[in-house]
């Protein structure tokens, strides 16, 4: 009887589908993509080699402190400059700490962070990111000589002079390195370039700045930037 049971279990295990899934060849532009990646030494990642899905899926939201510090560091500012509601109430540590996965021990006795993201978390993340990105862009555009991130992108009549130019590409690479701590893949660069074209159609009079905001927003509010 035990041998029978063992045989059945063994057969069942053998029949389990493999957890590794090959990505759709068209999903990444139909070819291999390069990416430095942290620790990658600037080498390339062949996405066609397949990506093994995490079986355990131990993914954690960063929480208000890590998220805010990472954002501040990524955009070359301080935590205090990241986001203030109505220009004066700190988003991450006063108004929305629990929505961002933090605690509030002194006021309401919440000593442990929430175990899951809440219904409002994604919106608060977007607010904080948008606020921080806008502040950095305003600072850089108002002082081109001392600009930190948003520089070297030719603008004409409110539009990017060359959407496919090296300035735009360099800015995308810089944003990815700051937000994801790795180089972007070709597909990711293409996605953000396409975003520039889309923004130009949607807001032709102020397309360059609004694309900068949109690209910064897309990178720093991505799942890769807010989970670990």
Partner 1 sequence: MSLKGNGRLSRRELMQALAACGAGSTALAPFLSGCRGALDTPEALEKRGGRRDALDGKPKFLITISAAGGASIIDAMLAVRGSESSNGALLNTFADAQVQLVPNSPFRAVKYDSGSLGSIPIPVHTDQLAFVNKHKAQMLVATSVGTSVNHTIAQKRALTGNAAWRGRTLQECVALQWGAGFPLPNVNMGIGGYAERGTDDSLPGSVYGETVVNPSLWPLGLDGSRGIQGAPAKNVIELARASRNRLDAQSVFGQTFADADAMKRWNEQRAVSAPRLEALDLITNLNVLPNLPPQLPLTSYGLASSPDGARVRQVLPEYFTDPVQGQAAMAFLLLKYRVSVAVTLGPDFNVAVGGSSGIANPPLAFDFSHNDHRAGQAFMWARILRTVDVLIDLLKSEPFDATSGETMWDRTLIYVATDFGRTRPRPSGVQTFGTGHDLNNGFLMISPMVKGNTVLGGVDPNTTLTYGFDARTGTALPGKHDSNEPDIFSGVLTAMGADLTGSGLPDASAFKKA
Interface of this chain with partner 1, residues 41 to 60, rule: CB under 8 A: 45, 47, 51-55, 57-60
Q: How far, in Å, are 42, 172, 175 from residue 182 at the CA level?
A: 9, 11, 10
To partner 1, the closest distance from the beta carbon of 191 in angstroms equals: 6
5 is an interface residue for partner 1 by CB under 8 A: no
Q: Which of residues 186-225 bind partner 1 (CB under 8 A)?
A: 187-188, 191-192, 194-195, 198-199, 202-203, 210-211, 213-215, 217-219, 221-224
Nearer to partner 1, 117 or 151 (CB): 117
Closest CB 142 distance from partner 1, rounded Å: 12
Give me the residue label for tokens 């975003």: 195
Closer Cβ to partner 1, 109 or 146, answer by number? 109
Q: Pattern 127-166, binding to partner 1, x per CB under 8 A?
A: x--xx--x---x----------------------------
Pairing of strands 89-90, 155-156: unpaired
Instruction: Record the tokens describing residue 136, joined without a space.
Output: 């950095």
Asked if 99 touches partner 1 (CB under 8 A), the answer is yes
Out of 36, 61, 68, 178, which residue is the one contacting partner 1 (CB under 8 A)?
A: 61
C-beta separation of 217 from 199 below 8 A: no
Choosing from 124, 139, 153, 168, the residue that interacts with partner 1 (CB under 8 A) is: 124
**Contact map string, positions 16 to 35, toward partner 1, x by CB under 8 A:** -------x---xx------x
Return the SS3 of 51. Answer: strand
φ/ψ (deg, to 5) at 191: -65, -45
Smallest distance from the beta carbon of 207 to partner 1, in angstroms?
Answer: 9
Instruction: Report how far apart, in Å, the C-alpha atoms of 158 and of each of 144, 166, 190 are.
Output: 15, 18, 21
What SS3 class is residue 45? strand
123 binds partner 1 per the rule CB under 8 A = yes
Residue 86 touching partner 1 (CB under 8 A): yes
């Amino acid at each position: 009887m035990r041998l029978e049971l063992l045989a059945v279990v063994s057969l069942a295990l053998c029949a389990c589908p493999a957890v590794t899934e090959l990505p759709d060849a068209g999903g990444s532009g139909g070819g291999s993509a390069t990416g430095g990646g942290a620790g990658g030494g600037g080498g390339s990642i062949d996405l066609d080699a397949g990506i093994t899905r995490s079986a355990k899926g131990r993914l954690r939201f960063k929480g208000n402190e890590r998220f805010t510090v990472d954002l501040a560091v990524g955009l070359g500012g301080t935590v205090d400059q990241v986001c203030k509601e109505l220009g004066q109430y700190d988003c991450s540590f006063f108004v929305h700490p629990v929505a961002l996965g933090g605690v509030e021990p002194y006021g309401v006795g919440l000593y442990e962070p929430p175990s899951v993201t809440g219904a409002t978390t994604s919106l608060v993340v977007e607010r904080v990111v948008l606020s921080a990105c806008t502040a950095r862009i305003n600072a850089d555009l108002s002082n081109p000589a001392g600009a930190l991130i948003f520089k070297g992108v030719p603008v004409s009549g409110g539009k990017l002079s060359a959407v496919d130019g090296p300035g735009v590409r360099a800015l995308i690479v810089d944003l990815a390195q700051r937000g994801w701590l790795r180089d972007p893949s070709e597909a990711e660069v293409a996605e953000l370039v396409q975003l520039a074209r889309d923004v130009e159609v949607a807001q032709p009079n102020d397309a360059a700045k609004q694309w900068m905001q949109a690209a910064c927003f897309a990178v720093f509010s991505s799942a890769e930037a807010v989970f670990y």
